[in-house]
Structure 1
């Protein structure tokens, strides 16, 4: 990249120093400078013309400043304060003008934001012992809602086109090779070519179904910050619609990849689990790993393009994104395998399943959530007073059909799958056993048991709190106890029996599940 004249940024820094009375910090990326006052951050776009961005004119920089404001206010309205014109000269700039400048043309523009400490950024938060993973759950819920309300691109739009998806990945490989000559790219390109053939029809179906939407586009841990006790995304892609109008699963994949690259595979699957519960997009799982590999290459390229080319090997902040790409290309799920839960309401099925998601890198499909989705209700919505009965035999049949289809998509994607339901009827269990046999994967049963007193206490407590997807009350529990069809001898032989009155060793359960899958292979 050619050297850029820094006269304006130096003058702006001095101007802000005079106004604030403090020294001004400067953060530089490959396409911008950010000037940090004690309370505010001013972003100045560099006058660059790169293959993926053109900020070479004042008019272009003004346009993209306004776009940055518009687009990022979807995610972080309290963070983005406005676009501020710069008047005067590059040697003596005036931020916002002084009233005399209204008839003159600005020489540039700044995006003005609230300043936040580096410690608030997610990549820093992850290193803090006090980090609360529930923040990721709530962030996933809001992201799913944002995706659901975003504009959708359908043919003849090129966004989401299978050929364009493969071409974008190939271009990243070519840029990595041209920029730094990284030697580990041949197997990456071959993998991309193979997957492009394998996933073509899946990509086409997702494009036709409206999965390509106006997303964030750059959703990694350095672009998520904890503000007002919640995680919010910022700094989305404003300069190239093709990088923003993408499959929602590509948006999700950037964060799951970055969490995995930073050694937090558990949080990657926890975030994915929460997003899937709120989005219901299990059909997108077959394309997830491709997008994760693509995103690791993107992040590696961004590190190569950074100021001074400080990371010519595709690492950034101590994270080796090229190694991450190679790891993702291998089967990191531990192989597709199925687990169905079994037990009464209050037996601890969902609690253990949610922990297994993180231990096993699994995908969970929950009956309480999918039942409500069929009626247009969110996971935590209550059906009472809605004028509908979501617990009819027909609703139950549809719920199990939906879970069967979701499990099939996830298993075909190579994921370990946990179907979280009571499974008190033998016929319901048989259907999933047949699915596993059809796909040639193992089927285990997580048999959760608790004393009658514990069951009743947990169900009553959950009803009182109202913070869980389950709506089962004590009457439902009594009906379950009456109609339950126990596991037969064959099922018991495949069951992992867990008594949940006390502490449960989830790591041991995961190990037993993995061993059972290995023995049946």
Structure 2
């Protein structure tokens, strides 16, 4: 019946708008009829356990849920739920009488603008990822909290699908190496759960279980009017959507890494954290990334035909192993370090820090961001030593930076603190954090000619998006009051000419030689 209905709906006379032609996209749970200006999505009457669309009333309900939930992250994309009247062979879109089906009406966009397609064509940019980080951070910050009494988000609810992955994967495997790897991954997941259980309980109590998206990856993001739009959230299963915000974040990070975009994945995570300040949950990131990778691994096995040929089975196992190996990479012990920048404002410290993020997986902590999260925006004229830049505010800001650095290091990630560190006592305090957490500490002594600094300040002002309030007067005051590195500090420092790309390349190479596990 359903196939006949889809065929009958490919009639331009049924639509109150011009039709450029018909194309049908079919997935395992829906059909999408493309007409040119609009797309019409119809759910299949199927039951896969994790979703049940068998009843017409259920399909109507979930059409409305899909409309409601996706409007949180989109504007003008999801338009309406339309009843389909008439008969299977002679349907009417809208109208009166008893509905035989329901369709979700959407604005149609070119499939060529999907971020997954842009990535495949080499057209995905860091700006696209930054825009996704901003949208997701804002979305998570404002998403409704799942009530504390709700089971979702409890440690037991978190671990249930993790264990289910292993139970459902194991029957598909026969190769000894695959089974040994799966056993090792399961042992790591159980050990991680035991270690993380107090944090999971804390996250639940503190309201970090939100009504999330549930399926954020490049295939569910597109460009519309040059802006990134994230769509197609999970509407059919509350447990998939009622999760810790880190489970949502981890999905996109894993998807980027699976596509060989490790630099962009690292950039996304660090940008997201700067926007949310949610460093306390960072220890959960690799746990959730491994879970998401194994979900993908499981789905690849599920897609294998029952009577698969040797070639089909080999292709499926190759895909499975790619995801299993990715999951295994999240279980390795990382090389950690603490790096601090040293230099006046606008000397290029943030650009240096971004290179450490993308190349070495560091998490960046920016003094300008942390300061304004603590004290708000500067009011009045920006004068050194006043307002949010007073002596007391400076002390509090550096104390907070060092507190967050310890949290990130304990979570297993290297850290780069993007701050001026013009005072010896500030640098000594950072060194104590490194000592207390058992990691090496490196000072990046950042320099650039005054003319370059003035040019960067002018660019910042014209763009207007940088969190720094520095002016050239502030820079000159810093140059006059800075305390130069002492002999012992010079031994654990690297000089970086921030206007020289070769200097940055050499820096990354030197750090990798010192810490080969990166």
What TM-score do you get using the length of structure 1 for normalisation? 0.90
RMSD: 2.7
Are positions 1:252 and 2:246 aligned together? Answer: no
Structure 2 residue aligned with 1:491 = 489
For residues 430 and 249 of structure 2, the distance between their equivalents in structure 1, rounded to whole angstroms, comes to 28
For residues 143 and 448 of structure 1, the distance between their equivalents in structure 2, rounded to whole angstroms, comes to 32
Structure 1 residue aligned with 2:24 = 26
Q: Is the 8 A contact 1:303 1:316 kept in 2?
A: no
Cα shift at 1:419: 0.6
Structure 2 residue aligned with 1:356 = 356
Q: Is the 8 A contact 1:261 1:319 kept in 2?
A: no
Structure 2 residue aligned with 1:62 = 60
What secondary structure does 2:11 align onto?
A: helix
For residues 318 and 227 of structure 1, the distance between their equivalents in structure 2, rounded to whole angstroms, comes to 33
Cα shift at 1:480: 0.8
Are positions 1:421 and 2:423 aligned together? Answer: no
For residues 200 and 111 of structure 1, the distance between their equivalents in structure 2, rounded to whole angstroms, comes to 40
For residues 114 and 303 of structure 1, the distance between their equivalents in structure 2, rounded to whole angstroms, comes to 30
Cα shift at 1:316: 10
Q: Is the 8 A contact 2:497 2:503 kept in 1?
A: no
| Gapped regions of structure 2 (runs ≥ 5) | none
For residues 84 and 316 of structure 1, the distance between their equivalents in structure 2, rounded to whole angstroms, comes to 42
Q: 1:300 aligns with which of 297, 300, 304?
A: 297
Structure 1 residue aligned with 2:11 = 15
Q: 1:155 aligns with which of 148, 151, 168?
A: 148
Q: 2:278 aligns with which of 274, 277, 281?
A: 281
Which stretch has the larger CA shift, 364-373 or 462-471?
462-471
Any residues of structure 2 matched to 1:458-469 within 5 Å, and which?
458-469=456-467
Q: Is the 8 A contact 2:362 2:416 kept in 1?
A: yes
Q: Compared with structure 1, are the counterparts of its residues 376 and 8 closer, same or farther at alpha carbon in structure 2 (3 Å cutoff)?
A: farther
Q: Compared with structure 1, are the counterparts of its residues 61 and 317 closer, same or farther at alpha carbon in structure 2 (3 Å cutoff)?
A: farther
For residues 407 and 53 of structure 2, the distance between their equivalents in structure 1, rounded to whole angstroms, comes to 42
What secondary structure does 1:34 align onto?
A: strand
What TM-score do you get using the length of structure 2 for normalisation? 0.90
Cα shift at 1:201: 0.8
For residues 178 and 57 of structure 1, the distance between their equivalents in structure 2, rounded to whole angstroms, comes to 32
Q: Is the 8 A contact 2:148 2:207 kept in 1?
A: no
Are positions 1:47 and 2:49 aligned together? Answer: no
What secondary structure does 1:496 align onto?
A: strand
Structure 1 residue aligned with 2:164 = 171
Cα shift at 1:460: 4.3
For residues 464 and 249 of structure 1, the distance between their equivalents in structure 2, rounded to whole angstroms, comes to 34
What secondary structure does 1:112 align onto?
A: strand
Q: Is the 8 A contact 2:298 2:320 kept in 1?
A: no
Cα shift at 1:384: 4.2
| Gapped regions of structure 1 (runs ≥ 5) | none
For residues 316 and 273 of structure 2, the distance between their equivalents in structure 1, rounded to whole angstroms, comes to 30
Any residues of structure 2 matched to 1:294-373 within 5 Å, and which?
294-305=291-302, 320-331=322-333, 334-373=334-373
Cα shift at 1:482: 1.9
Q: Is the 8 A contact 1:463 1:471 kept in 2?
A: no
Q: Is the 8 A contact 1:346 1:454 kept in 2?
A: no
For residues 323 and 26 of structure 2, the distance between their equivalents in structure 1, rounded to whole angstroms, comes to 21
For residues 476 and 61 of structure 2, the distance between their equivalents in structure 1, rounded to whole angstroms, comes to 63
Structure 2 residue aligned with 1:375 = 375
Cα shift at 1:69: 0.3
For residues 384 and 140 of structure 1, the distance between their equivalents in structure 2, rounded to whole angstroms, comes to 30
Structure 2 residue aligned with 1:135 = 128
Q: Compared with structure 1, are the counterparts of its residues 271 and 462 closer, same or farther at alpha carbon in structure 2 (3 Å cutoff)?
A: same
Are positions 1:434 and 2:427 aligned together? Answer: no
Any residues of structure 2 matched to 1:435-514 within 5 Å, and which?
435-514=433-512
What secondary structure does 1:51 align onto?
A: coil
Are positions 1:189 and 2:186 aligned together? Answer: yes
Structure 1 residue aligned with 2:91 = 93
Cα shift at 1:16: 5.3
Which stretch has the larger CA shift, 230-239 or 118-127?
118-127
